[in-house]
Structure 1
Amino acid sequence: MRDIVSQVKKISEKICKELQLELFDVKYYNKSGRWFLEVIIDNPYDYVSTKDCEKVSRALEYELDKIDIIPSKYYLTVSSPGLDRPLRNINDFERFINHKVKIKTQTNSYIGYIKNIKNNIIAIDVNGKKIEIKFEEIKNANLEIDF
């Protein structure tokens, strides 16, 4: 299974690069007796459109049919990380300055707006109070939908 994911990642990264997109994640799993290949893409300059997903899906489908590495029937989905996407690295935090975020550390959970990043310290505004969190202390973080 790991071999399938790593090969799909390699192919997907190439396709995404050609389309000026980024590969966010690849998952291959069995759910209720059905195999799913889930490819998640991102657009570092804009939002991911349905056309972006369609282009990646068609190109990936073509490449996977050529090399035939997946032994059984599967369902391919190509999607975006979503509005509540995880923030996985310091670049993600920089990209989403002024966006609402939920950050969990070992001891606390914060919801606020990313204000700046300096020396791997993320400053967020939580109801008018500035909180600074070292990137290494973050257990997980994701964007919050801001209505």
Structure 2
Amino acid sequence: MSLSQKEIIERVRAIAEPIVTSMGLELFDVKYRIQAGKWVLSIIIDKLDDYVSTRDCELVSYEIEKVLDSHDFIPGRYYLEVSSPGLDRPLKKIEDFRRFVGKLVKVKTKKTYRGYIVDVNMETKEIILRVDNENITIKYDDVKSANLEIEL
């Protein structure tokens, strides 16, 4: 019985989460998709107090690969890649906004805003951005997508 893409992602997440956490890292995302005609399993890791190093990616890849090989539930050939969310990382949770107070972001609601995170009110779930020397309050529930912007 073959698993769906969603089921594979859920199983990989269940395997990867404790491994990544035990290494002092956070599991940011798991993706399983066709890329350039080949199946790719992407595990994106993060480090809350620092940047993810190449060595972090190598160690996570090694540990997860051992477990995936022993469980063998992913059909056919696939490529495993472990990476960080990147400099222009998406902000998925309200906690991500809190973590990056002071950073330049692009936030899409009905409109698109580009500004600096001034504050995050966790109780009201509101994000305050400084856009063109003016503070704008955005409800977290209105955010369709958001990511850090690279400052040059």
Aligned to 1:38: 42
Match in the other structure for 1:125: 130
Cα distance in 1 between the residues matched to 2:109 and 2:28: 23
User: What is the CA-CA distance between 1:5 and the residue it aligns to?
Assistant: 1.1
> Which residue of 2 is the match for residue 138 of structure 1?
143
Unmatched 5+ residue regions in structure 1?
none
Count how many residue pairs are aligned between Structure 1 and Structure 2: 146
Mapped to 2, the partners of 1:103 and 1:67 lie a distance apart of: 40
Per the normalisation by structure 1, the TM-score is 0.95
Measured on the aligned residues, the alpha-carbon RMSD in Å equals 1.0
Deviations 1:35-81 (Å, cap 9, x if unpaired)? 11111111111111111101100001111111111111111000011
| Aligned residues with identical type, % of pairs | 49
Asked if residue 112 in structure 1 is aligned to residue 115 in structure 2, the reply is yes
Matched residues in 1 for 2:35 and 2:150: separation? 28
The aligned residue for residue 87 of structure 2 is 83
SS of alignment partner, residue 131 of structure 1: strand
Give the ranges of 4+ consecutive aligned residues of structure 1 lying more than 6 Å apart after TM superposition: none
C-alpha separation between the residues in 2 aligned to 1:89 and 1:3? Answer: 23
SS in 2 for 1:91: helix
Q: Which of 107, 121, 125 is matched with 1:103 structurally?
A: 107
The amino acid across from 1:122 in the alignment is I
TM-score (norm 2): 0.92
CA distance in 2, matches of 1:74, 1:60: 14
Kindly provide the amino acid, as one letter, of the partner of residue 110 in structure 1: Y
Question: Any idea what the Cα deviations from partners look like across 1:92-141, whole Å, max 9, x if unmatched?
Answer: 000000000001112x1110000001221111111211111111111111
Partner amino acid for 2:24? Q
